[in-house]
Structure 1
């Protein structure tokens, strides 16, 4: 049985680092289902290239010209590099957006905690999603509420975190058409690359919506959370200018910049890895749907959210899986607006996913109060 530091769960709105919880040595034998990143990318050849370049990279400053990295990324996204802003993780960009550009904004909850942490309570109004509706967001009702509340901005996460709810591209475009009166619409597409074989992103429609800012985390779809890469895309020059002025000159490190330079030559490998993740998560969703005692939500992301129906709390199930089965899942209890019975699991490859599905029935009937 693993020994864990329980106090760490009370010290963050996110999941505590697995290494912090169990130590470096024990972390090697735990399957981390909280890790919502592509397990198949970067390729081994890319990792080797990064390793070989490291001694040289750490002795040099990164570029002072943000367009250098943006051009590499724009080449694989097939967008205008001038409209891209790359950040030290999506969280850096979320922070600057929230601090400098967000007026009064509506925030559906539960949501990704950074938006709640970075927007002052006086500038945000919470839009609670209902447990009886499996926390699904109705875009039409949301827009009507925004108007009634006289709010000037809106947040939509697509696919939604933590439920995985996916809005089709035409639904998002209809929402944006109806939301032209808003000063700002933030659409977080951090998981959109796992939504289907064809990626239903708004990137190529952004020029039609001057109030739109798209936020995406490269940690998820590229599998490099340690490199801290994310980006914004918008056709609004004022928004782009404010963001550019707010960022440090060297906000990306040389290793992250080198990784960006590898993207164009490995784009086919990336899409092969993305499709493999989609296959895995579909298998995981179908397999979890056969487990008694839980209700599994539809997903368009690389993770699955499910509700525990037996009365056991998410915290209890998380601890049992971690201590008894060396599996770390996301207890969503600390997400504002969500009840204490929801777990989120990200696919970690077919074999690891199968082990989770096999362990769940036993964990769900473990004696309460253990």
Structure 2
């Protein structure tokens, strides 16, 4: 039997469709010995200097209420995004906004699968999800022409696109996307999730500068991902549709953003250079990681336009078993994608955690596959 070095509370995996936090899975004293490849977020931002500043401010800001005027925080974020601040809505994580958008604006929606589970779980009626299976033979690439034909044939009123896709990593170029959106102008709502767009490695990949051209589009982004701050619970959506904006702002609670998150937003304009450098480093890390994983026997490595990579296990071991072996024997935590509707039981997702940690994962995957090949 393999030597279990890091005992794991396996029962916690049965209680959520998301990955349990490492701090819950193992004893506190060994958390620092593990590497979390489920953590699909920027590992280089905030910088250590930003962390020090936040820590110094905590005694002051936790004694204060957040601002009752969200315009101030919106303006800081809009400055780095270079968009109209009136188009922005801040959320307590992107999941708060996904929930409100789907409950307030969506009647039925076309969803390419596999996808991020929140888009399936937060609908008013689960029967309103119309699932479009991405083809295995095309490596789960979304063909927008076929998707548009399917939407129209089935008379669906709304659509979701995640770009780059999660968990697939598939990336859609801006020209192709704009052509699709122009064709789909008759839809009530198009949700465009760009949470990973900054890691595409493409210059100016976002639709946000063109929102005025597409009034039925809402762009959603999770700052947990591109800014590396999941604990702050920060997300935002933006749209040029005044009706959407009014509806969503009316149902948001006052003070939905805490004071630490507000202060972080104030830091963004003066640390944008550091942020852009961190993104370039992540892109370089992912490309190196991809090149190493592609040399491994027994795995299919999918091309990616994000900071994570989808992997299929081709030597018979199920994803859950590989996840547990990596975690308990090597201290490496990957995402088992078995509960992603549209995938089989042989896919894992890994996010780059820097060159040294990525190398540990590549070696561990090679060692495990050698036992079967």
Same fold (TM over 0.5): yes
Match of 2:132 in 1: 127
Which deviates further from its counterpart, 140-149 or 20-29?
A: 20-29
Deviations 1:300-327 (A, max 9, x none): 1000111111111111111111011000
1:231 to 202, 220, 236: 236
* Correspondence 1:292 to 2:297: yes
2:36 to 28, 32, 36: 32
Deviation at 1:199, TM superposition (A): 3.5
Match of 1:324 in 2: 329
Deviation at 1:367, TM superposition (A): 6.7
Match of 2:253 in 1: 248
Deviation at 1:123, TM superposition (A): 1.6
Separation of aligned partners in 2, 1:318 and 1:149: 38
Match of 1:206 in 2: 211
Match of 2:178 in 1: 173
Separation of aligned partners in 2, 1:7 and 1:279: 36
Separation of aligned partners in 1, 2:202 and 2:134: 29
* Correspondence 1:216 to 2:221: yes
Separation of aligned partners in 1, 2:89 and 2:109: 22
Conserved? CA contact 2:297–2:369, under 8 Å? no
Match of 2:63 in 1: 59
Which deviates further from its counterpart, 17-26 or 225-234?
A: 17-26
Deviations 1:256-300 (A, max 9, x none): 000000000000000000000000000011110111111111101
Conserved? CA contact 1:36–1:302, under 8 Å? yes
Deviation at 1:8, TM superposition (A): 1.1
* Correspondence 1:136 to 2:141: yes
* Correspondence 1:4 to 2:26: no
* Correspondence 1:151 to 2:179: no
Deviation at 1:197, TM superposition (A): 4.7
Separation of aligned partners in 2, 1:342 and 1:171: 28
SS in 1 for 2:131: strand
CA-atom RMSD in angstroms: 1.1
SS in 2 for 1:230: strand
Conserved? CA contact 1:317–1:364, under 8 Å? no
Separation of aligned partners in 1, 2:71 and 2:307: 30
Deviations 1:145-173 (A, max 9, x none): 01111100000000000010000011110
Deviations 1:227-268 (A, max 9, x none): 000100100000011110111110000000000000000000
Match of 1:342 in 2: 347
Separation of aligned partners in 1, 2:370 and 2:132: 35
Deviation at 1:44, TM superposition (A): 1.1
Match of 2:82 in 1: 78
1:188 to 193, 202, 207: 193
Aligned residues: 368
1:263 to 251, 265, 268: 268
Runs (5+) with no aligned partner, structure 2: none
Deviation at 1:128, TM superposition (A): 1.5
Match of 2:27 in 1: 23
Runs (5+) with no aligned partner, structure 1: none
Deviations 1:169-196 (A, max 9, x none): 1111011011111111000000000001
Conserved? CA contact 1:98–1:118, under 8 Å? yes
Separation of aligned partners in 2, 1:182 and 1:47: 43
Deviation at 1:45, TM superposition (A): 1.1
* Correspondence 1:116 to 2:116: no
TM-score normalized with structure 1 length: 0.98
